[in-house]
Copies of this chain bind each other. A is one copy, B any other.
């Protein structure tokens, strides 16, 4: 896990909102995009950052790409910072 990518990904409110939406269950790029006042290409860039951080995984179904939340990475990253273990890079 690249801890730096995870926290960088979490730093934007849109990306945190995407994760929150995905807590309810997997969703396609288009469905996610409906929740924001941004163009699809812009959202696509946000999806990509979340994917690089492994905070989401992708599954293709037909022409749609379904995004799934990867809760374990979130737990690892945040728990690592909260814990007493030395996290110095």
Contact = CB atoms under 8 A, between A and B. Distances in A.
Interface of A: 4, 7-8, 10-11, 13, 16-17, 19-21, 23, 74-75, 78-79, 81-84, 86-89
Contact of A13 (B19, B75, B83, B89): B89
A75 B59 CA distance: 32
Contacts of A16: 7, 81, 87
A9 B23 CA distance: 24
Given A10-B11, A10-B81, A11-B7, A20 B74 contact: no
- 8 tightest A-B CB contacts, nearest first: A11-B11, A78-B78, A20-B87, A7-B11, A7-B10, A8-B11, A4-B13, A20-B88
